[in-house]
Amino acid sequence: METNLTSQRKKDHIDLAFLSQTVERDTRFYYEPFLSAHPLNESIPKTVIAGKTLSMPLWISSMTGGTEKAGIINKNLAKACREFGMGIGLGSCRIILTDNAYLGDFNIRKYLGDDLPLFANLGIAQVEELLEKNKLELIGELIRKVEADGLIIHVNPLQEWLQPEGDLIRFSPIDTIKRLLDKVDVKIIVKEVGQGFGPRSFRELFQLPVEAIEFGAHGGTNFSALELHRQEEQTKNQLEPLAMIGHSATEMMDYANQALDELGSRALCRNIIASGGVKNFLDGYYLIRTSKANSVYAQASAFLKHATGEYEQLKTYCELQRKGLQTCYQYLEIKTA
């Protein structure tokens, strides 16, 4: 039996050798094969976000709710978080702020368990409105309803501006977030939705007592492009250049590190969720290891791709992600500039 297997493997090697010529090389890392044994589960360090411990430094970025498929997607994502020790942000919970008809789509604590972070999600425009109407108690109610650890606020002015039915943002988001922090005792995470943001925004945000800053960087799912696809041809063609602006996650990590260096002890936020266009575990590992803050990386669309059907498909995706990360922690070091 063993002889047959070996002989088949040798045949495969000969057949596949010409198909396996290297075309590209990832030059971001030193690969050190002489210094470590094969990785074990413990090779991935644990990370704490919102006082809860993640076994993988991986977060599922906020996605959907309130549509037919959302319930099954969210359930699959929550099960994966529990099995692999990851954190998750819900998609916008606006639809359940005052009406419980779709609460079932968002009610995933029962699949996730109590030990992992779960955050509700609202847009900056809704937070503005709640502040203006003196209805901040709805935020506390929302968090209780979905048994979340806190609230993610998505700041998406470009998306809203390009969306035909988009909300108008009437104040600077940083002021709105400050006003909210003054009035509620809730853990807050802030994020963009696929455009990222620049160094001045980082400097302001790090000085706020927010739980984490999530990048939502440019380079993956792009909601400005998405909204333009929903428009007439002329609008799409003329405004399309706006979808090209923004900042990649790598660029944003540089801004974040510079801001942390400059601010020193004035930086009140010390956690980063590096997301947006993170293609795989190598990108994620690179971001985490170049960060000067406590960091995890996150993906949205990559998880979504595997979350719409059977749980097993998502489980396989997560297992391979973990195997990749174990390899990184055991064998790869970041090349410094």
Ligand X SMILES: Cc1cc2nc3c(=O)[nH]c(=O)nc-3n(C[C@H](O)[C@H](O)[C@H](O)COP(=O)(O)O)c2cc1C
194 scored as a contact of ligand X (CB under 6 A) = yes
Angle, vertex CA 282, rays to CA 264 and CA 250, nearest 5: 40
Q: Which of residues 293-332 bind ligand X (CB under 6 A)?
A: 299-302, 304
Q: Can you tell me which of 50, 56, 64, 77 binds ligand X, judged by CB under 6 A?
A: 64
76 scored as a contact of ligand X (CB under 6 A) = no
Q: Which of residues 221-280 bind ligand X (CB under 6 A)?
A: 221, 275-278
201 scored as a contact of ligand X (CB under 6 A) = no
Closest distance to ligand X from the beta carbon of 299 (Å): 4
Rounded distance between C-alpha atoms, residue 34 and residue 161, angstroms: 53
Rounded distance between C-alpha atoms, residue 330 and residue 324, angstroms: 10
The interface region with ligand X, picked from 46-54, 59-67, 240-248, 311-319 by CB under 6 A, is 59-67
Contact in structure between 36 and 63 (CB atoms under 8 Å): no
135 secondary structure, DSSP code: -
Cβ-based nearer residue to ligand X, 91 or 157: 91
Which conformational region is residue 231 in: left (phi greater than 0), alpha (psi within -120 to 50 degrees), or beta? Answer: beta
Contact in structure between 236 and 228 (CB atoms under 8 Å): yes
The helix (run of H) or strand (run of E) holding residue 141 is: helix 137-145
For the CA atoms of 77, 82, 86, 87, the dihedral, rounded to the nearest 10 degrees, stands at 70
Cβ-based nearer residue to ligand X, 60 or 269: 60
Which residue of the chain is nearest ligand X when measured via CB? 220
Cβ-based nearer residue to ligand X, 253 or 331: 253
Q: Which of residues 147-166 bind ligand X (CB under 6 A)?
A: 154
Q: How many residues interact with ligand X (rule CB under 6 A)?
A: 23
Angle, vertex CA 192, rays to CA 188 and CA 197, nearest 5: 115
Closest distance to ligand X from the beta carbon of 184 (Å): 19
Rounded distance between C-alpha atoms, residue 81 and residue 113, angstroms: 9
Q: Can you tell me which of 75, 187, 191, 247 binds ligand X, judged by CB under 6 A?
A: 191
Cβ-based nearer residue to ligand X, 47 or 222: 222
Closest distance to ligand X from the beta carbon of 35 (Å): 32
Q: Can you tell me which of 63, 80, 186, 189 binds ligand X, judged by CB under 6 A?
A: 63
Which has the closest alpha carbon to 29: 256, 328, 294, 324? 328
Cβ-based nearer residue to ligand X, 88 or 267: 88
220 scored as a contact of ligand X (CB under 6 A) = yes
Q: Which amino acid is at 191?
A: K
Residues 103-132: x where in contact with ligand X by CB under 6 A, - otherwise, as a string: ------------------x-----------
Q: Under DSSP, is residue 269 helix (H, G, I), strand (E, B) or coil?
A: coil
Between strands 188-191 and 150-154, the pairing is: parallel
> What does the binding site for ligand X look like in residue numbers (CB under 6 A)?
61-64, 91-92, 121, 154, 191, 193-194, 216, 220-221, 275-278, 299-302, 304
